[in-house]
């Protein structure tokens, strides 16, 4: 592997939902910068393929983030394979969307279970090993939908607001242990999740966003890599929007009525 830099040379991270989409881009970013990664997902074939393409510094493990027993096994596996666990990227997520009035309770619960309870499970499972190692970095993937009221996302948006708040709570609790906890808030990004709802890359495809376009996963990965690295040793409890300006405010087109 031809390393772009050694920013993550001594780091080992679990990336949930790393089989495809944003998680796969995070896994690539970590290995490209000299780190090691354990991709944890429920899509076993895709996860195995993504890890194999990354070479000796990547592994795949089956993990349903809603199951605490899977977490115990994944953390144990990571330490057995790479000797330590310094990072966790809680990225796995699912989305449903319709008017709140019509959102079935089971959909609402299912989204919270993966997107919020899954993050809680991950945090709980890594605290002991990270504390024992003298510190670590937890990066929780929230969303722009966790910073504003995005219609048709009752369960999804609530889960992402929850992840944003949980990140700050745990950052405060774990500061003394040198375990940093931050949230990253992607805007509309082209992945299998958004392709399913007809979102595509290209200028003008995101008119509600100042930059006027959908992002690609590689554009989100830099923020995650930074937070995992020793460049961010004083950064905890922070939220980083990587969203083309979506949450900064209404577009000029809206303000000027054009
Ligand atoms: N794509 C976007 O525009 C966007 C914007 C903001 C936030 N996000 C967030 O980024 C994260 C990744 O999204 P994506 O767009 O890459 O989606 P994706 O659907 O392409 O990938 C999500 C991954 O999570 C995995 N996953 C789902 N449920 C799981 C479970 N119970 N246990 C383990 N893995 C599970 C899936 O198998 C898949 O590999 C999600 O949390 C999503 O909410 C995405």
Is this structure's pTM higher than 0.85? Answer: yes
Backbone dihedral region of 60: left (phi > 0), alpha (psi from -120 to 50 degrees) or beta?
Answer: beta
Per-residue confidence in pLDDT tens, the chain, 258 aa: 455 789 999 999 999 999 999 999 999 999 999 999 999 999 999 999 999 999 999 999 999 999 999 999 999 999 999 999 999 999 999 998 899 999 999 999 999 999 999 999 999 999 999 999 999 999 999 999 999 999 999 999 999 999 999 999 999 999 999 999 999 999 999 999 888 888 888 777 788 899 999 999 999 999 999 999 999 999 999 999 999 999 999 999 999 986
Give bridge partners of residue 199 from the DSSP assignment: none
Q: Which domains does the chain have, with CATH numbers?
A: 12-255 (3.40.50.720)
- Identified catalytic residue from 156, 226, 234, 254: 156
Give the burial class of 79: count Cβ atoms within 10 A of its Cβ; 0-12 exposed, 13-18 middle, 19 or more buried: middle
Pocket test for ligand 1, best of 42, 73, 92, 190 (most atoms within 8 A of CB): 92
Q: Say how far apart CA 7 and CA 173 lie, in whole Å.
A: 27
Determine contact, residues 62/41, Cβ cutoff 8 Å.
yes
Alpha helices by DSSP H, listed for the chain, are: 21-32, 44-54, 68-82, 105-112, 118-132, 154-174, 192-195, 218-228, 252-255
Determine contact, residues 29/222, Cβ cutoff 8 Å.
yes
Pocket test for ligand 1, best of 193, 197, 200, 220 (most atoms within 8 A of CB): 193
Report the chain's terminal Cα–Cα distance, integer Å: 49
Would you call 60 a catalytic residue per the annotation? no
Q: Say how far apart CA 119 and CA 103 lie, in whole Å.
A: 23
Q: Say how far apart CA 94 and CA 104 lie, in whole Å.
A: 15
Q: Say how far apart CA 116 and CA 161 lie, in whole Å.
A: 9
């Amino acid at each position: 592997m031809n390393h772009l830099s050694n920013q993550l040379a001594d780091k080992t991270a679990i990336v949930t939902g790393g089989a495809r989409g944003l998680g796969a881009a995070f896994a690539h970013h970590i290995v490209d910068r000299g780190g090691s990664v354990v991709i944890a997902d429920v899509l076993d074939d895709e996860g195995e393929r993504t890890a194999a393409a990354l070479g000796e510094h990547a592994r795949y493990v089956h993990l349903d983030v809603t199951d605490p027993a899977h977490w115990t096994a994944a953390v144990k596996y990571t330490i057995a394979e790479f000797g330590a666990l310094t990072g966790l990227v809680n990225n796995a997520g699912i989305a449903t969307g319709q008017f709140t009035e019509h959102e079935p309770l089971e959909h609402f619960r299912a989204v919270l279970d993966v997107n919020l309870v899954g993050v809680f499970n991950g945090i709980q499972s890594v605290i002991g090993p990270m504390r024992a190692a003298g510190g670590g970095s937890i990066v929780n993937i929230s969303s722009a939908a966790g910073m504003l009221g995005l219609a048709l996302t009752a369960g999804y948006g609530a889960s992402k607001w929850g992840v944003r708040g949980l990140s700050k709570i745990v950052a405060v609790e774990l500061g003394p242990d040198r375990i940093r906890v931050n949230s990253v808030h992607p805007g509309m990004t082209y992945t299998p999740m958004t392709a399913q709802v007809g979102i595509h890359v290209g200028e003008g495809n995101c008119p509600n966003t100042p930059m006027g376009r959908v992002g690609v996963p590689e554009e989100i990965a830099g923020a995650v890599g930074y937070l995992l690295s020793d460049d961010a040793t004083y950064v905890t409890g922070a939220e980083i929007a990587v969203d083309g300006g979506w949450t900064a405010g209404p577009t000029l087109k809206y303000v000027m009525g054009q």
